[in-house]
Structure 1
Amino acid sequence: MSTEDIEVRRSQRRRRTVSARREGDRVVVLIPASMSRAEERVWVARMVDRLKAGERRRRPSDVDLMSRATELSERYLGGHARPRSIRWVTNQRSRWGSCTPSDGSIRLSDRLQGMPTYVVDYVILHELAHLLVGGHNRDFWTLLRSYPKLERARGFLDGVALAKGIDVSDADDDVEDASA
């Protein structure tokens, strides 16, 4: 990151804390006005690194997605779901993810980027389960039942969809309720 991408704001009110946030393409680092230039350089570098690390966690690369999918399949599906590819896509406006079992590909809507990790994990796991079971029948939901944040993640996505006016409901969700 070049220095023109970083803005340092000094505050008379700030005594000890340092924080950083992204404003558009720029990183803004907030520091106490009393901080020396040497301390500023150290803290700016530290805070930019922290901000980037957080962004990588919230917006994993396609390679990171494959690693995560493998880990989730091992943990919750006994390693039986083995995708050949998993990637972000920009053309899914009415669903969070999709998969093609015949070629083992999984696609995740880029709208998931920045959402909590447990939500992205749920969508990955949901699509992994579709590699094993088509549709949203009882067998499908039984596969997902072991994910501890299943209901929380589904509620989060339902809330986002409602707030944005998106209909992303599963066509046969009632099957899940019948098996509970």
Structure 2
Amino acid sequence: MSADPLHRAGTPQREPATPPPSGPEASVIEVRRSARRRRTVSAYREGDRVVVLIPARMSEAEERRWVGVMLDKLAAQESKRILGDAELAERAERLSAQHLDGRARPASIRWVTNQNTRWGSCTPAEGSIRLSHRLQGMPEYVVDYVLLHELAHLLVPGHGPDFWRLLEAYPRTERARGYLEGVAAAGRLPHAPGARDE
């Protein structure tokens, strides 16, 4: 996988017709506007919904942007609970059933600390999948994308058209790839003046 990076108090509350599929975004999203709130934006879970609190004066475009930001933050907070290898295996089974008709069945899945140039790897002959520990703490949809990516490699080894067709069913592919590209780009930024490697 080295080639890949691997929405109102005082006004009607709005909810999306079709909530996104994973993490906090699998919940109904309710945006509440407050005239008392000047600059801060916050989000929290309330039962089966995610509530995003924003200032009343915020534009529609700012609202959309901040809802996305806060959902990502909430997802990152919720995924900080480190998944064990057994939980990764359960997640892989769910993703395979949802997006690959259950055809990808890895023999083993585990976190590793020796993958610093790639997010995940797969050895189809052994049926083994390894995910970089650097994914821990990233939003759930990002971890799911990398896991699904490696599951797809159990069925198609390379990155040709057949491989990418397998990932078309996952609705967060482009967003997850963008997130990983951003993390990778940030890691390549030059050091600040005076900073040095230890």
TM range (shorter): 0.5 to 0.7
Other-structure match for 2:120: 97
d(CA) in 1 for partners of 2:108 and 2:94?
Answer: 14
Deviation sequence 1:86-143 (CA, Å, 0-9, x none): 0000000110000100010000000000000000000000000000001100000000
Aligned residues: 113
How far is the alpha carbon of 1:165 from its aligned partner?
1.6
d(CA) in 2 for partners of 1:143 and 1:121?
Answer: 14
Other-structure match for 2:158: 135
Counterparts of 1:1-180 in structure 2, within 5 Å, are 58-165=81-188
Partner of 1:68, secondary structure, is: helix
* Structure richer in helix, relative to its length: 1
**1:58–1:142 Cα change, 3 Å:** farther
Deviating above 4 A after TM superposition, structure 1's stretches of 4 or more consecutive aligned residues are 54-58
Partner of 1:140, secondary structure, is: helix
**1:68–1:138 Cα change, 3 Å:** same
Higher relative contact order (CA closer than 8 Å, sequence separation 6+):
2
d(CA) in 2 for partners of 1:70 and 1:76?
Answer: 10
Other-structure match for 1:48: none
Gapped runs of 5+ residues in structure 1? 1-53, 167-180
Q: Do the aligned residues in 2 keep the contact of 1:70 with 1:82 (CA within 8 Å)?
A: yes
How far is the alpha carbon of 1:82 from its aligned partner?
0.2
**1:57–1:149 Cα change, 3 Å:** same
State the AA in 2 paired with 1:154.
Answer: R
d(CA) in 2 for partners of 1:98 and 1:138?
Answer: 19
**1:134–1:164 Cα change, 3 Å:** same
Partner of 2:109, secondary structure, is: strand
Gapped runs of 5+ residues in structure 2? 1-76, 190-198
Q: Do the aligned residues in 2 keep the contact of 1:73 with 1:80 (CA within 8 Å)?
A: yes
State the AA in 2 paired with 1:160.
Answer: V
How far is the alpha carbon of 1:59 from its aligned partner?
2.0
d(CA) in 2 for partners of 1:68 and 1:150?
Answer: 17
